[in-house]
Structure 1
Amino acid sequence: MSKESALIAALRSIATHPAARGLQDDCAVLDFGGETMILTHDMMVEGVHWLPGQDMADVAWKLVATNLSDLAAKGAEPVGVLLGFTLGKDDTRFLHGLDEALTAFCVPLLGGDTVSANGPRSLGLTALGRATSHPVPDRRGASPADTLWLTGPVGAAMLGFEALRDNTTADSTAFRRPQPRLAEGRALAPIATAMMDVSDGLLIDASRIAQASNVTFAIDSATVPFPANLPPARKDEAMRWGDDYELLFTLPPGAHPPIQAHRIGTATVPSSNPITVDGAVPHGPLGYTHD
């Protein structure tokens, strides 16, 4: 068990409010008056989530987009964001990218906090949304015989990271400026039995839905979408890399999504392993974890 998983397990005895969903989801779901609020908070650290020297406008965009992706997995409409910011030597580019992202996604900045510190910079963002469908999708609703779907390819962010790291002419947009699937999430929310975004890797995120729902997913790698320029030998790596921010969701047997998506597997009765790929249990790390 990673340090991250161990900490979350320990926090479950503290986070007992129903809105916390047992810390088995990426968002809190809080009934408030006549609305249901969706709340999420993600952090990014220099050298972990972005490369030293990377354009801070892209970092700002990604900070917004990754938080909005969590809202997308709940079918939520964004209401606003709060920024937690570590000051740098010159924050002009960050402010430019922040304004670009908030304008692109029509989300207001509502406030936040700033600090100064030594060492690698850390940034945080809290995104607030409102539910557009009830019940609000989470990871716990999949059942045996449900089908497993993915909105788009995995592996583009991996290739984009390598292009940026190696300073090549290849396209790095997927890594630098991901697109949260907000419209797709709202379309899927009324019918998805379980849903989350792919942030840490397709295999590890599929295993998280499987464990939360008490099922096993049988994934067929031949049906998983990949970028056209991904070498075939790297498909397994692409399913574990993460940062793609596509939506991973399940539907009842016979149901079809109202958006373009790829059926990549089926839920079966629970077994000793949360996922299989092409009939075999995958070995090694399934995706990214904070150790």
Structure 2
Amino acid sequence: MPANEFTLIARYFSAYGRGAAVELGVGDDCAILALAPHERLATSVDTVVAGRHFPEESLPEDVGFRAVAAAASDLAGMGARPLGMTLALTLPEADELWLHSFSQGVAAAAVALELPLVGGDTTRGPLTISVQVLGALPAGKALLRSGAQVGDGVYVSGTLGDAGGGLAILEGRYQPEPEAAEYLERRFFRPLPPLALGALLLDTASAAIDISDGLLADAGHIAAASGVRIEIDRECLPLSAALQAHPDREQALAWALSAGDDYELCFCLPEGSAVPRGCTRVGAVLAGAGVVCAGAEGLVRGYQHF
């Protein structure tokens, strides 16, 4: 007899709901999460669709991890402490082998990001995964896109462009050495958004955003919300050794500027602020509007769904 919706949830997802903030997880109509005194709830939802956000032949465990990490990146971009997540899963069929592997990826992300799974839903249809994340922010504090000031420096965490390189490999557009290929593909499928950095920046950053659509597009959101101009120096972009091995530096820089899916942070700091370890200055906030980057004038800035 085929497993029904409730059996699938109990079998593959009910074990990943333990967390410090979880008072009641999977099993009732709602989960109950506890906020500390003087905290506020931060929430966001992210949806990924097979064939559009990841190749349809992707390993299910990678799909599960990536879906959770992409959603959790929004918490990092706000500086929120992770509390829990819910998962809505649309499946063409109840393939239990696929579900088992997928659930292992979700579980790995839940542990790595301290984001217990506290609820969700399953239904039939084209493979679609929606993850809603819940986080906590101290009262009166949040990283916003709207606070950048003229004179601030613009910084990014980690390295950029790796996910773009990884996708190019998966689509057969790039064939690097095996070690570089493994690294870049892992960066595409298993990003680790810098949640601790987001929380650290609450007291210093004037503005911040997670880099999901590419640096040019996401810095553009800060510029628009803050009413400023952001200038990016592409020669300052931090590239991993794997990406630097690409024979065409222009292509590597293009991925770093516009490919997206890196799930790092772009943030602005007033001059004289301490720069967190692992972060790189890539530009400055000026008077004016928009984002400028010499040598990147022809790049498409951000993915458009419609």
Measured against the shorter chain, the TM-score band is 0.7 to 0.9
Whether the 8 Å CA contact 2:254–2:296 is kept in 1: the answer is no
Structure 1 counterpart of 2:195, one-letter code:
L
**Matching of residue 223 in structure 1 with residue 249 in structure 2:** no
Whether the 8 Å CA contact 2:39–2:138 is kept in 1: the answer is no
Q: Secondary structure at the match of 2:242?
A: coil
CA RMSD between the two structures = 2.0
TM-score (norm 2): 0.79
**Matching of residue 252 in structure 1 with residue 270 in structure 2:** yes
Distance 2:239 2:103 in 1: 33
**Matching of residue 128 in structure 1 with residue 134 in structure 2:** yes
Q: Secondary structure at the match of 2:74?
A: helix
**Deviations, residues 176-223 of structure 1 (Å, cap 9, x unaligned):** 111110111111121110001100111011111101110001111111
Distance 2:286 2:236 in 1: 18
Q: Secondary structure at the match of 1:229?
A: helix
Aligned to 1:194: 207
Q: Secondary structure at the match of 1:189?
A: helix
**Matching of residue 139 in structure 1 with residue 145 in structure 2:** yes
Decide whether aligned partners of structure 1 residues 213 and 128 sit closer, same or farther in structure 2, where only a CA change above 3 A counts. Answer: same
Whether the 8 Å CA contact 2:46–2:131 is kept in 1: the answer is yes
Whether the 8 Å CA contact 1:75–1:132 is kept in 2: the answer is no
Aligned to 2:195: 182
Distance 2:191 2:128 in 1: 19
**Matching of residue 277 in structure 1 with residue 290 in structure 2:** no
Structure 2 counterpart of 1:258, one-letter code:
P
Distance 2:279 2:138 in 1: 21
Whether the 8 Å CA contact 1:77–1:132 is kept in 2: the answer is no
For 1:157, which of 153, 157, 163 is the aligned residue?
A: 163
Whether the 8 Å CA contact 1:184–1:259 is kept in 2: the answer is no
Aligned to 2:217: 204
**Matching of residue 95 in structure 1 with residue 93 in structure 2:** no
TM-score (norm 1): 0.82
Distance 1:257 1:39 in 2: 27
Whether the 8 Å CA contact 2:39–2:139 is kept in 1: the answer is no
Q: Secondary structure at the match of 2:78?
A: coil
Larger C-alpha radius of gyration, 1 or 2?
Answer: 2
Identity percentage of aligned residues: 34
Aligned to 1:288: 303
Whether the 8 Å CA contact 1:132–1:186 is kept in 2: the answer is no
**Matching of residue 34 in structure 1 with residue 38 in structure 2:** yes
Whether the 8 Å CA contact 1:133–1:190 is kept in 2: the answer is no
